[in-house]
Structure 1
Amino acid sequence: MEDLIVLDGDGARVASSAERLKDYHKLSQAPHDIPVGVSMQRWRVRFLGGAPSMGYRTYYLARGTEPSVVDCTAGVNFIENAVLRVEAHANGTVTIIHKVTGRAYEGAFAFEDGGDVGDGYNYVPPKDDRVFLSSDCASATIAARLTATCAELEISFQFPVPAERAGDTRSEELQALDIRVVLRLAPAALRLDALVEVTNTARDHRLRVLFPSGCSAASSYVVEQPFDVVTRSVAVPDCSGWKEPLPRTGPQKSFADVADASGGLCVMNRGLPEVEVIDDDRRTVAVTLLRCTGNGVGAPEEQAEGQMLGKHAFHLALFPHLQSWDGDRVWRQAHCFNVPLRCRQTSVHEGRLGPEGSFLQMDAEDLVMTAVKRSEDGGSLVVRAVNYGSEAVRSVYRTSLPVRDAASARLDETVIGRLECSAGTIPVVVPPRHIETVLLTP
């Protein structure tokens, strides 16, 4: 039986899968006419695609029977590509082997659960806290499989934790959290993508997922912040006597990274703003998934939604790398993970654009593009980039759009000065730790 396949612009087969969905049927009726039915077949198609910088690429659906083969391997408890091997263990944890360096990151995706009697502002553990680790009690179900586009490793288990607070400690009654981790490894991918699903049935607790980096010699780590990457000390000062002790956790945007002379581990996230690198011998990266507390403005019983009961889904990714965070430009992987390609379906039609193209390019790899948008007055295109580094970066912007004028501007889009612009080419110099906003006017 013929299936749907995906072809690129040259007619070559692209790794893809097609899932037949329920047929779509719609009735329409014009005034003073009988109903007319329209029936259509529906499919869900997944494929491995790519596109040029700030551009697009066209793919085509066709009928075919040729099987799609993904260049990955899957076994009973592992998945593997040319760069990474991922092994799951009976206690629910994962070992990630970076085949380029031979370095093994053991104990990943263990979950830590401690009490939380704080509020929406501050995490406060009970005076007599009891901290649980999923790796001490989990008996995981493991399934590995190959799909048309990637290798998947699924790990499911129950994690018993105290049901709620009990005075200055946690209750003896236990509630089981259902946890499901799906790891995805694409062919030749440098990072491991993860979906973590948690069904929370407990109250007054904090749940974190742990990633031992193995960088025992690291005394600091870095996190992305708005328009910057900042360095934090792993060690926390003695806060005895402080009215409000320094939190061990801190804010992050898309990634946190720990590295030593042998390489590093970058932990990426979508929308998880709190992280800590624990001062242990493995320099464990701990990402907060849930803070469940009933305290806040008003009585605890009025803060029921703060207990975060129910099912939650979290997206993370791991990128083992060879050098420092800036030497390996870890933000590129983190931003690709946070802003994946968008797919739009259309019919075959005539138009001004070719099957593939790029609207905007920057030739400097050390610049980080943070925004491309219409200006507030509607008359220009705003292109904003930041230099995370400690040295000035020279770059050339190239655009296929019709541009007659280019200007440097402030964040509020007030023009600072004119930039040279010739045939869609705009040279810029971005100082270290600087935000460069450019207005392109047609």
Structure 2
Amino acid sequence: MDNGTFDLTHKKTGKTYSGLHVFADREEIGDLYDHHEFAVPDERRSSGSSKGWQLHEKSEERVVFKHEISWSLPDKAGDKVRSVYEKAVTIVTYATLHAGIDRLDLMTELDNVCEDHMLRVAFETGIRADAVHAYDHFNVVSRAVAKTGAEWRDNPFQEFVDVSDGETGLCLSSIGLPAYEAIQGANGIELQLTLVRSAGKIGPAAGANYPAPGGQSPGSHRFEYALIPHEGDWLQGNCASRAADYRNRMLLAADSLHGGTQPSSSAAITFVSGGDAATPVLSCLKRSEVGDDWIVRLWNPGKGSDIRLNSVSSGARFQRTRLDESAFAEESAESNINYRVTGGDLLTVRVSMKEPPRG
């Protein structure tokens, strides 16, 4: 849209989320430890400062749109007012849709030339609920929604934060951005992701309120985040796995065309959950600390589930281990493995891919 926002339609549910992606900025009169504002916050919004969205790239694999705004923000802030002198801040955003992936990837670039401010990007979900759900250390916590007009307060999250009314939902994931706030607006919950917090002093919590120019976060920044629309709540929408797919991207290497014996697509290791249980989340795939085996760690975000692992390799062997990769005395290596994993629990398995001896 001309005001810099966009509408996102989830084709599977027919749900449209309107007026997404507005930048919001307030003064920062706190320090590196705590954010503080004026008694009446001076909030600026980017609507009306846009040059509009333009098609940037199009191919069979993806389509990319580009959006740019030139936005005037106060140069700095005093104890009671923001400066009347303003500087132009150019913000460029790329929105990418990948073929076959039910997700919108966003990347925003800006040069932070202002001080004493806090910048967020806001998503008006249109969903009415009393709480949102955020992932935090192998757990999903429910947090209440803040009231409109209150002082901004960052809440921590990892992997994702989700807004849902139980029928449809909008999940937000990010790379390297761990702070959000959900605010109750006139049209439902507005989800805000913190991009920059510029503060110029350390704060009394450190024992001395010394100046800290680096805390203003000057210079060029690049932010990456994604929107994942879904059915149901965060568990039914498989938000944990889909956010993990976004945050942990595969590295690809091109090779010349050549013959081979392997199928065009396959999986060295597969895992499934029984019944209608939630899909287990792959939280770790790495080489073992000792030997040449692989370590696979799964997290069950839902209720109890039977998780079964198998491999296309006839020589593969699975053995359940502790987190430090030491084996349980009663556990032997098997060609496949089936375990009952309760809700919230982890399953760590050592995978040996060696072919069995012949003859």
- TM, length-normalised to structure 2: 0.86
The amino acid that maps onto 1:170 is R
Structure 2 match to 1:338 = 247
Please state how far the C-alpha of 1:345 moved relative to its aligned partner.
2.9
| C-alpha distance in structure 2 between counterparts of 1:131 and 1:142, whole Å | 24
SS in 2 for 1:437: strand
The amino acid that maps onto 1:124 is H
Structure 2 match to 1:375 = 288
Per-residue CA deviation, residues 96-128 of structure 1 (Å, 9 max, x unaligned), is 123343332122110010111223322222445
Aligned pair in 2 of structure 1 residues 279, 141: CA closer, same or farther (>3 Å)?
closer
The amino acid that maps onto 1:248 is R
Structure 2 match to 1:357 = 266
- Of 35, 45, 67, the match for 1:133: 45
Please state how far the C-alpha of 1:190 moved relative to its aligned partner.
1.6
Per-residue CA deviation, residues 219-248 of structure 1 (Å, 9 max, x unaligned), is 111111121222112147xx9xxxxx9x83
Q: Which runs of 5+ in 2 are unaligned?
A: 355-359
| C-alpha distance in structure 1 between counterparts of 2:284 and 2:50, whole Å | 45
Per-residue CA deviation, residues 283-332 of structure 1 (Å, 9 max, x unaligned), is 0110001111111166654x222211122111111122221111121223
Q: Does 1:290 align with 2:192?
A: no
Aligned pair in 2 of structure 1 residues 354, 187: CA closer, same or farther (>3 Å)?
closer
% of aligned pairs identical? 27
Matches within 5 A, 1:424-435: 424-435=335-346
Contact 1:219 1:235 in 2 (8 A): no
Q: Does 1:107 align with 2:19?
A: yes
| C-alpha distance in structure 2 between counterparts of 1:434 and 1:222, whole Å | 18
Contact 1:255 1:266 in 2 (8 A): yes
| C-alpha distance in structure 1 between counterparts of 2:346 and 2:153, whole Å | 29
Contact 1:403 1:440 in 2 (8 A): no
The amino acid that maps onto 1:343 is L
Aligned pair in 2 of structure 1 residues 347, 142: CA closer, same or farther (>3 Å)?
closer
| C-alpha distance in structure 2 between counterparts of 1:199 and 1:173, whole Å | 18
Contact 2:3 2:52 in 1 (8 A): no
Per-residue CA deviation, residues 267-297 of structure 1 (Å, 9 max, x unaligned), is 1111110011112232011000111111116
Q: Does 1:280 align with 2:185?
A: yes
| C-alpha distance in structure 2 between counterparts of 1:108 and 1:306, whole Å | 29
SS in 2 for 1:332: helix
The amino acid that maps onto 1:180 is V
| C-alpha distance in structure 2 between counterparts of 1:146 and 1:377, whole Å | 46
Please state how far the C-alpha of 1:376 moved relative to its aligned partner.
2.4
Contact 1:368 1:385 in 2 (8 A): yes
SS in 2 for 1:416: coil
| C-alpha distance in structure 2 between counterparts of 1:98 and 1:111, whole Å | 23
Q: Does 1:211 align with 2:117?
A: no
- Of 101, 107, 124, the match for 1:189: 101
Contact 2:241 2:279 in 1 (8 A): no
Contact 2:163 2:170 in 1 (8 A): yes
Q: Does 1:388 align with 2:301?
A: yes
Matches within 5 A, 1:7-406: 89-135=1-47, 137-145=48-56, 147-148=58-59, 149-216=61-128, 218-235=129-146, 248-281=153-186, 282-296=188-202, 301=211, 303-347=212-256, 356-364=265-273, 366-378=279-291, 380-389=293-302, 391-400=303-312, 406=318
Aligned pair in 2 of structure 1 residues 299, 413: CA closer, same or farther (>3 Å)?
same
Contact 1:405 1:421 in 2 (8 A): yes
Contact 2:201 2:213 in 1 (8 A): no
Contact 2:29 2:78 in 1 (8 A): no
Whose Rg is larger?
1
Per-residue CA deviation, residues 382-429 of structure 1 (Å, 9 max, x unaligned), is 21111111x21102111245767543332222333544654x311122
- Cα RMSD of the aligned pairs, angstroms, is 2.6
Structure 2 match to 1:75 = none
SS in 2 for 1:363: strand
Q: Which runs of 5+ in 1 are unaligned?
A: 1-88, 240-244
| C-alpha distance in structure 2 between counterparts of 1:351 and 1:125, whole Å | 64
Aligned residues: 341
